[in-house]
Structure 1
Amino acid sequence: MKWVTALSGTVLALGLLAAPASAASDLPKSHGFYDEMTYLMELGAVSGYPDGTVQPDKIVTRAEAAIMIGKLFQFDGTPRASGFSDVTKGMKASGYIAAVREQGYINGYDDGTFRPYAPITRGDMAIILGMVYSSPEIGLNTFKDVNPNMRAYYAVSAVADSNIAAGYSDGTFKPYAKTTRGQFSAFLARAEEPKFQNDTHLANGFMRDKTKTYVYKYEDGTVSTHSYKRYTMPRIDLGFAWHDSTEEYGFYNETESRSGYEIGSPLNFTMLDLVYPYKVGTVIDAGEDYGDKLSVTGVNVTVETAYKTFTNAVEVTVEGYSEIPNSGHKFYLVPGMGQVKLVHDDGEVGVELINVK
């Protein structure tokens, strides 16, 4: 892949009645999840209560989550036997609970119950969304309060890598915190629509805007457009990823956590481009496939590209392989732009950003 090698519901509650988005009296535009809830309401995935509210700050239950997912995917919600001892076929959520069980999206417990009124935690949310959506995981987001012994460990990493959920400023994920209707709506909206994924980016981070396309020119003169879209191959859906237009299956992903920024293939490898915190002299252990040594050799560097001149770039130097002439190079990272330029040891430009649209 040239990019990598060169740049390295729905009713939400039991008994809810449909209510148009404009009638949500308790969802002002100032609410943190206004856009996400409105988006799902327009899809029919979120409906309101009889009093015209949607109660965005109410804790969401397992039954409500099943209804939301069921409505979003247009499952048959006709009340029926669900197979769970605590969900009768007369319950309004029973059809959707049965449907998400059949799809393998939300499972029950060992005792044969579903526990429809139990709240959804952030860890539960990660597990559920991991079952519903494919995640092209390329790194392992780490949080201080999430460890490998936890059931939600890999699911939390996947939703974080996929920009569906983010942690908190103190480096925690709070996996046992209960999830509100607004939060669950935000998670679903991000999984469905890339523009909402931008909300999970770190302030002053290097992740690119997923609603834009980035045009690069390679050293052989090839011009390639990179856009964010669903990563699909025959009979395979691996979720959203960046796509290099010069290759049919030239998908790759980028992820960023408080430990660093990395880019790589959703299928088999990743390359660490920067570790946090960084300063001049910081060494980056990116693995043997990316050169003998990477280190930060400049911050707030001015770098010219065909697109524009940046004055806030981070310069990373790759020593390369001693036995391969000109294998060393420098690349430049810009906040909100990712890698904008790569220059070989002999001064030849390997990759350069030429447009953003």
Structure 2
Amino acid sequence: MTNKQHHYIASAKRVIDIEARAITDLAQRLDDSFIDACNMLYNCLGKVVVCGMGKSGHVGNKIAATLASTGTPAFFMHPGEANHGDLGMLSKNDVLLAISNSGETSELINLLPVVKRLGVNVIAMTNSESSTLGQHANVVLNISVEQEACSLGLAPTSSTTATLVMGDALAVALLDKKGFTSDDFALSHPGGSLGRKLLLKVSDIMLTGDDIPITSDEATVAQALLEISRKGLGMTGIVDEFGKLTGVFTDGDLRRILDARVDLHDAKVSDVMTIGGKTTTPNQLAVEALNVMESFKISALMVLDDEHTPVGAFNMHMLLKAGVL
């Protein structure tokens, strides 16, 4: 590693150390103001409107997104645009989360008279309670840092990190207070992998109709093997004369009877099948069905209705294709 490369590493470590200390210091300053802010947001009848200019605005956008995705309705309002009409986004039941490191950002300060006239509660994230923003806020969250990580001491670095962490702390504290669950999270993330895992039902992925591997309990093992081959799931359901499932015959059952030298053309499949077998229902979540398959080390499941009649079937490959795995 060259001297120049060593310099890059040394600079990076310095930044990380400074910002880590800023976060540690932030934790030490948590007090009743944080509790008051959480209660104000928890009891908010409207939405949390996050507002900030410049780097504070970029961080504010993320804080609003995090709040919204964890059960606290929120959106970001740009203070510059708010001064020219977007302040109409704000209603009296909302809470304004105003972010300004100095507490003197003019675009933000200009909004305060109207905000106060509306009777909107204000939570300020700033480094100074005595700043204009701090004095006009109902609650002040201190996000001051000892130093910026920028070697010039100018670029917002440690301060934006502290602001972001404070926003995350608020969001998660509210999440815990509200009892927000992974199911709730999935509802606001239906396009993500978690949403697919938690919202997708067996009925959304299973094969139906003629694609279901079904064999009569009077059939021979050879006939069952043909059905397995045709349907491609590595198994077939075995049904009685009324169409009710009595068992399943799988690749594993085949290996077992081959070891026992059973005649495939003479033996009835009902004599060598797995009686009953593991099954699921159309309304079960796909991720729950996956847990069953993994627990019993099986690669496919029959899907039954309330009358124990097969209405579907699927295997691990289909779960993988649907993004559940």
For normalisation by structure 1, the TM-score amounts to: 0.24
Structure number with greater Rg is: 2
Higher helix share: 2
For normalisation by structure 2, the TM-score amounts to: 0.25
Higher strand share: 1
